[in-house]
Amino acid sequence: MPKLRVESFTISLDGFGAGPDQDIDHPMGVGGNLLHGWALPTRTFQQKLFGKDGGETGVDEEFAARGFQNIGAWILGRNMFGPVRGPWPDESWRGWWGENPVYQVPVFVVTNHARAPLVMEGGTMFHFVTEGITVALERARQAAGEKDVRLGGGVNVIQQYLRERLIDEMHIAISPVLLGSGERLFEGIDLPALGYTCIKHQASERATHVVLARA
């Protein structure tokens, strides 16, 4: 059965998945860019983000690559799509990634404010879902067919899906940095009570990778 998966979501040693004061200049919050030191050098991220050949192989690359395997659709929270808050003032904001985003499949953005679908290059199409996380998942699964759905974040939308026991598997990378404040991924979340256990853990020079699954 197709899964809902979180992949390559990075937290700091003190548990933060984003730093404080997120805005257009700090998409991951102040200091949040430090979280992804493990991912950016990998072959997968060099190709997906920068269109470059090469990049590092090894443990980090294996986990980066698996996040794009068998993915037929994505779900994002509003903040992951962009820094605009409240009603859309216009449709000028088209995402962080330029005209050819990394997704290349349908993407369902959970938001309180309606907006027309946004067609991008490379097969990416953003759909803005105002009916909540369950409807977003239903639509994403329909679009993905027999493939899995990847839940990209941010912290708040992952927490919502966790509390409803809708996430089947999570790959979390723990980066050896301290942020001190921001958004804690597991704040108020009782993972064992929700049925989640660690099924795999592996360390590289830049991160510790853990995979959590729901029984």
- Give which of 133, 149, 131 is closest to 67, Cα–Cα: 149
User: CA-CA distance, 107 to 177, in Å (whole number)?
Assistant: 30
Structural domain contains residue 15? yes
Q: Is residue 36 classed as helix, strand or coil in its secondary structure?
A: helix
Residue in 175, 208, 213, 211 with CA at minimum distance from that of residue 59? 208
Average pLDDT on 181-189 reads: 96
Asked, for residue 139, whether it belongs to a domain, the answer is yes
pLDDT at 20: 86
- Integer Cα distance of 201 and 171 in angstroms: 9
CB 152 within 8 A of CB 76: yes
CATH classification at residue 122: 3.40.430.10
Residue 130 backbone dihedrals phi, psi, to 5 degrees: -105, 0
Whether residue 74 has pLDDT greater than 90: yes
Confidence of residue 150 (pLDDT cuts 50, 70, 90): very high
Examine residue 153 and state whether it is found in any structural domain, yes or no: yes
pLDDT of residue 137: 98
pLDDT at residue 51 greater than cutoff 90: no
Q: For 86-100, what is the mean pLDDT?
A: 89
pLDDT beyond 90 at 177: yes
Residues present in the chain in total: 215
Is residue 22 a part of any domain in this protein? yes
Average pLDDT, the chain: 94
Cα 215 from Cα 209, distance rounded (Å): 19
How many Å separate Cα 196 from the centre of its chain? 19
CA 91, CA 88: separation in Å to the nearest integer? 7
The proportion of the chain whose per-residue pLDDT surpasses 70, expressed as a percent, equals: 100
Mean pLDDT of 69-88: 93
The answer on pLDDT for 24 being more than 90 is no
151 and 75 Cβ atoms separated by less than 8 Å: yes
Percent over 90 (pLDDT), the chain: 82
Domain that holds residue 13: 4-84+100-214
The single-letter code of the amino acid at 102 is: V
Q: Does residue 200 lie in a domain region?
A: yes
Number of domains in the chain: 1
Residue 93 located in a structural domain: no
Does some domain include residue 49? yes
Is 91 part of a structural domain of the chain? no
